[in-house]
């Protein structure tokens, strides 16, 4: 396991969070949950009938699952407080209590309702659900964090040993997962949220570059103007963050190019957090670095939700699930520390 996850596991074990895993019969999720319980990395909450889940787990050889907590949406008495909460949250949208009871029984929604009600801290799902379904439940129940209107997705990029880039080979890229074409305000929020992810989750001292095809006015275009306006807004949102732009990618990470193209910049040539101007660029960039440079891409870490909820790829491995759980628990720890 990479050093990053060794460190995240230590933090998680030292301060176990109440983690909902709504896909409670999914084999990879059960394997990861079994390890989480064994190592004490979280207090696991599974959704469904306890006897059925435990029987499924034992059939697969996972004997720690019975130590988890359980909530059964088929139990009307257990479900009712959460249905009442959901109806209250969605009544302006016309949701009736009957509709709320049906929706609250969906494990993705019930997990988020547990968090909203203060009975859990975080959720990980997506091994058998689409990203859209995972995020829809989170948006409708948890909404966004105070002061945030734009949720984004960051990837922690672990570069091969000996790489001269990033902080000890660690960089953070965003947004690579959520907003197709952010405006200046959304881009600024992404920068501020990614700086926090880099500090709290990746464990690096963030130096943020707002990327463009221009460096410090070398090109004139409305797309460049968007990045420079986002830089201004980001500095207003967090005057203490180390950030600069607009910078081309080489000017951001190569010291000699940074010194030539952006003399006097504290970030140029030293950036370890790259904020891309749109999703198209970010998604292509992280996948190219992953494949051509042999980097490990960890994420996406969803940023800006009202509570930590992270999405898995449906092609994930049990190790992927476990690592996403560690990231998510550390987000919850950081959230509590900053409240």
Report the side by side order of strands in the sheet with 208-211. Answer: 243-247, 208-211, 273-275, 170-174, 152-158, 296-303
Mean pLDDT to the nearest integer, 26-34: 98
pLDDT digits (tens, 9 = 90+) for 69-94: 999 999 999 999 999 999 999 999 99
Q: Which residues in 149-188 belong to E strands, given as ranges?
A: 152-158, 170-174
Mean pLDDT to the nearest integer, 276-289: 96
pLDDT digits (tens, 9 = 90+) for 172-204: 999 998 999 999 999 999 999 999 999 999 999
Q: From CA 274, how far away is CA 282, in angstroms rounded?
A: 9
Q: From CA 260, how far away is CA 221, in angstroms rounded?
A: 22
According to the model, what pLDDT value does residue 338 have?
Answer: 82
Q: From CA 157, how far away is CA 174, in angstroms rounded?
A: 11
């Amino acid at each position: 396991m990479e050093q990053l996850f060794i460190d995240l596991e230590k933090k998680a074990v030292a301060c176990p969070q109440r983690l909902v895993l709504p896909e409670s019969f999914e084999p990879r999720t059960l394997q990861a949950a079994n390890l989480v319980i064994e190592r004490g990395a979280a207090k696991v909450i599974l959704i469904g009938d306890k006897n059925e889940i435990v029987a499924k787990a034992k059939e697969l050889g996972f004997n720690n699952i019975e130590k988890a907590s359980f909530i059964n949406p088929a139990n009307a008495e257990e479900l009712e407080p959460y249905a009442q909460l959901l109806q209250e949250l969605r009544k302006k949208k016309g949701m009736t209590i009957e509709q709320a009871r049906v929706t609250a029984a969906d494990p993705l929604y019930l997990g988020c309702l547990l968090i909203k009600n203060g009975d859990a801290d975080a959720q990980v799902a997506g091994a058998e659900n689409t990203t859209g379904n995972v995020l829809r439940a989170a948006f409708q129940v948890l909404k966004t964090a105070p002061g945030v209107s734009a949720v984004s997705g960051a990837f922690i990029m672990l570069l091969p040993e000996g790489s001269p880039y990033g902080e000890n080979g660690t960089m953070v890229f965003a947004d690579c997962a959520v907003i197709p074409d952010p405006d200046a305000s959304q881009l600024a929020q992404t920068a501020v949220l990614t700086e926090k992810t880099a500090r709290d989750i990746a464990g690096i001292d963030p130096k943020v570059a707002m990327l463009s095809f221009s460096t410090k006015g070398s090109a004139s275009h409305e797309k460049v103007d968007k990045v420079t306006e986002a830089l201004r807004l980001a500095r207003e949102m967090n005057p203490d963050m180390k950030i600069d732009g607009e910078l081309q990618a080489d000017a951001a990470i190569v010291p000699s190019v940074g010194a030539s193209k952006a003399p006097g910049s504290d970030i140029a040539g030293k950036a370890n957090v790259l904020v891309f101007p749109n999703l198209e660029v970010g998604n292509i960039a992280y996948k190219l670095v992953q494949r051509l440079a042999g980097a490990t891409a960890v994420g996406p870490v969803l940023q800006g939700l009202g509570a930590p909820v992270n999405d898995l790829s449906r092609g994930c491995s049990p190790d992927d699930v476990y690592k996403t759980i560690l990231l998510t628990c550390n987000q919850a720890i950081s959230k509590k520390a900053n409240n």
